[in-house]
Structure 1
Amino acid sequence: MTTIASDLPDHWPSISNWITFLLALSCGLIVANIYYAQPLVGPIATELRLSPQAAGLVMTMTQFGYGVGLFFVVPLGDLVENRRLVVSVLALGAVALATAAYSTHPVPFFAAALCVGLGSVAVQILVPYAGHLAPERIRGRVIGNIMTGLMLGIMLARPLSSFIASVSSWHAVYAMSAAIMVLLALLLRQTLPVRKPQARLGYGALLASMLHLARDTPMLRRRALYQAGLFGAFNLFWTTVPLVLAGPDFHMSQTGIALFALVGAAGAISAPIAGRLADRGWTRPATAVAMLLTSGGFALTLIAAHGSSLSLAAFAVAAIAIDFGVQGNVVLGYRALFMLGAEHRSRLNGLYMTTFFLAGAAGSAVGAWAYAHSGWTLAAWIGGLLPMAALIYLATE
């Protein structure tokens, strides 16, 4: 008999370690689809005969599709049975990945890239779903464990796709992920408990209600803006640092830059730590520490002349500190928002993610602009000031 998770999460006695692991693994595998293409822009653009200006669309279309899905698909978790919704979105992602794998012309590839981003929002349906399954006493810990899987997916996607493309081609990366999404959809369909939301709204009313939630939920606005400052700094760092490392001071190869990105993956350990701190009621001081760590990471990169061993070590420590702060803070935000009620949890997640996702996109653009105009120093100052602005806002809480 199929298990049904109540819409009142505290009636759900516990969540098994197997389900927690499966959700963490799923989130990592799904979110990786957004980042596989980042180191493959060059070979994709060459094979599809894209101009340098159009090459940027390889990532932009995927991110745009993800942003659209955050606002228009993720809120359906408050309306549609969650397991069925996740499987449907994964199916769309699998078809899109397969289409991208066999594309030889720009138009079908860009259409597929858009749908890859749209299909990847399944991860943001699973996160609030986990919040429903986990009882209140361990909700922060469960969300933290699942976010560890998600962050490892983000960090490992780029070096993994670089390695596969080096021994085969970029087509193999998309084909591999398409097959994984099919298997994952079948596994989740057979394993996850059913969760039927209690909402009886129509889709239009559901979207309209998000405006009321944004207006009437101070906690949502605060947590979204806190994370916007940190995630903008995070994207600024990871957009700009590869340019610094590949530049005349460090002369690092793409393989070296990929290995450097693996260093940042160590910051993923902050997610379960942040979840446990939140469960103990220490959300506010932990938020302040996350902001200070993120800002301090940028300061570290300015202590030594670029090109030296000390400078490279400082960048590595900064990557860990920034990732530690940003990933810890996003879990603290989830824990706070998921305490506000089960009936609109997916809509809160959609608004939360959309806000700081847009800030992250802006951070990438600002970082590239700052580096082009005044080098890393200006980029580091901007990146360090964003978390400090969030800290000043936190002081008014």
Structure 2
Amino acid sequence: MPGSKGTSTPRAGSRDGEGSAHFLTRGVVMLFAIACGTSVANVYFAQPLLVTMGRDLAMSPALVGSIVTLTHVGYGLGLFFLVPLGDTADRRRLVVAQLLLLVVALVVVATSGTAAALLAGMAATGLLAVVTQTLVAFAASLAPPAERGRIVGLVTSGVVIGILLARTSSGLMADLAGWRSVYFASASLTALVALILYRVLPHHRGDAPPATLRYGQLLRSTLTLFARERLLRLRALFGLLVFAAFSTLWSSVALPLSEAPYFLSHGAIGALGLIGVVGALAATVAGRLNDRGRARRTTGIALALLTVSWLPLAFTRSSLWALVVGVILLDLAVQAVHVTNQTLIYALHPGAGSRLIGGYMVFYSIGSATGAIAATSLYTAAGWGAVCALGAAFSCVGLALWALTRNAPDNVRTERLS
């Protein structure tokens, strides 16, 4: 770090990890965003392909449904068991190793001849796709504190775009060349990204020295962080609630659109994700507002927009324009809260950045799973209006939680964990 004992000012882009402010050019930040987007997309590729995959491998409906479940279970396990390694290992080597293992998992999926091979490959794909969060923590560690919100916002925009475009791109590619082509293409792209990152990323430990913990201690310290840090617990709850609302919409919106009066095709429904990309704009704006010390206000405004978004969404059956407006508001709000959360919690303990972000993202996964299960079940039982009421309820709880805690400090720095 600049001014550290025994160090000198390196040239821009040097690989010793110093001078990270110079290293993080806009091009490198975009590379982080692209790597995040291509990695996280693997978790969502299968959603429009389930019927085709099941038919190809003679899978029962129950087994077909477990494809998505196992992928998300793998992702949740990776958040807790793999992401914290970024606090002890060389992040460059860790990122490249996880990406190369992800390539292997994707090839297993693409070449699977049995349901067992497919399910094992999908679980491994989810487990290794958490490299996305290692990359977010890496980018945050390289960023100077005064620009950390902006950098995290830009990188997170890649995550948003990857999630939203995954369904659309996989559906189109499967129509052209079959579902296996999706995973062959992703494996090739992931290998290319791994090679580029290996050549570009620095051997950098970030703005704090590596933790000297054994693996078991590392995992236990993640739980200790939650017990010790009120801000982390609060922001994790915000994350759970906003992603429960996000998942409530995106896991069920295809159902009313495939029925009267629309009868939209899967391709047309998938294209709705293109509208959601507008939400990526909120990631960069929220990051800049955080750098200006406006995290609390940004969170409140975003949660208010999230709550309001369900009003136009409730009119989806009678107006596609209402749906478009609701989608834009909801995605803007969710990404604004998400970037604010990650920026604030990373600042608590930069040396534990991977543990903080990995632990926070576990709540993201819980919220996403809760919203998806509840929304699809509720639609069958009570229709689209009940789904919107559920999404609005998640949003209102988040807004109420913000109102109750809005006077709590956002930027307290506590002692560094060893």
* Cα displacement string for residues 150-187 of structure 1 (whole angstroms, at most 9, x for unaligned residues): 11111111111111100110010000111111111111
* Residues 189-228 of structure 1 mapped to structure 2, 5 A cutoff: 189-196=198-205, 197-228=209-240
Q: Distance in 1 between matches of 2:14 and 2:145?
A: 23
The one-letter code of the counterpart of 1:278 is: N
1:254 aligns with 2:256: no
Q: Which consecutive unaligned segments of at least 5 residues does structure 1 have?
A: none
Q: What residue number does 1:233 align with?
A: 245
Greater helix share, structure number: 1
Q: Which consecutive unaligned segments of at least 5 residues does structure 2 have?
A: 1-12, 406-418
The one-letter code of the counterpart of 1:379 is: V
1:73 aligns with 2:85: no
* Cα displacement string for residues 58-96 of structure 1 (whole angstroms, at most 9, x for unaligned residues): 111111111110000000000111011111111111000
The one-letter code of the counterpart of 2:287 is: G
* Cα displacement string for residues 171-208 of structure 1 (whole angstroms, at most 9, x for unaligned residues): 10000111111111111111101123521100000011
The one-letter code of the counterpart of 1:142 is: I
In the TM superposition, residue 137 of structure 1 has moved relative to its aligned partner by: 0.9
TM-score if structure 2 supplies the norm length?
Answer: 0.91
Q: Distance in 1 between matches of 2:17 and 2:402?
A: 35
* Cα displacement string for residues 27-49 of structure 1 (whole angstroms, at most 9, x for unaligned residues): 11111111111111110011011
Q: Given the alignment, which residue of 110, 114, 123 partners 1:105?
A: 114
1:45 aligns with 2:60: no
In the TM superposition, residue 303 of structure 1 has moved relative to its aligned partner by: 4.3
* Cα displacement string for residues 229-268 of structure 1 (whole angstroms, at most 9, x for unaligned residues): 1100100100111111112232111121012221112111
In the TM superposition, residue 284 of structure 1 has moved relative to its aligned partner by: 0.8
* Cα displacement string for residues 99-152 of structure 1 (whole angstroms, at most 9, x for unaligned residues): 111112100110000111111111100001101111011110111111111111
Task: Give the aligned length.
Answer: 389
Q: What residue number does 1:94 align with?
A: 103
In the TM superposition, residue 301 of structure 1 has moved relative to its aligned partner by: 2.1
* Cα displacement string for residues 1-57 of structure 1 (whole angstroms, at most 9, x for unaligned residues): 961225xxxx74342112111101111111111111111111001101111122111
Q: What residue number does 1:367 align with?
A: 375
Q: Distance in 1 between matches of 2:167 and 2:146?
A: 35
Q: Which moved more, 1:165-174 or 1:247-256?
A: 247-256
Q: Given the alignment, which residue of 140, 145, 148 partners 1:139?
A: 148
The one-letter code of the counterpart of 2:34 is: L
In the TM superposition, residue 290 of structure 1 has moved relative to its aligned partner by: 1.1
Q: Which moved more, 1:189-198 or 1:41-50?
A: 189-198
CA-atom RMSD in angstroms:
1.3
Q: What residue number does 2:124 align with?
A: 115
Q: Given the alignment, which residue of 252, 257, 263 partners 1:245?
A: 257
* Cα displacement string for residues 268-318 of structure 1 (whole angstroms, at most 9, x for unaligned residues): 1110000011111111111011111112111112247x2x3xx21111111
Q: Distance in 1 between matches of 2:340 and 2:107?
A: 36
Q: Given the alignment, which residue of 353, 360, 365 partners 1:345?
A: 353
Q: What residue number does 1:334 align with?
A: 342
Contact persistence 2:313–2:327 (CA under 8 A): no
Residue 240 of structure 1: SS of its match in structure 2? coil
1:129 aligns with 2:138: yes
Q: Given the alignment, which residue of 389, 395, 401 partners 1:387?
A: 395
Q: Distance in 2 between matches of 1:201 and 1:329?
A: 31
Q: Distance in 2 between matches of 1:183 and 1:27?
A: 13
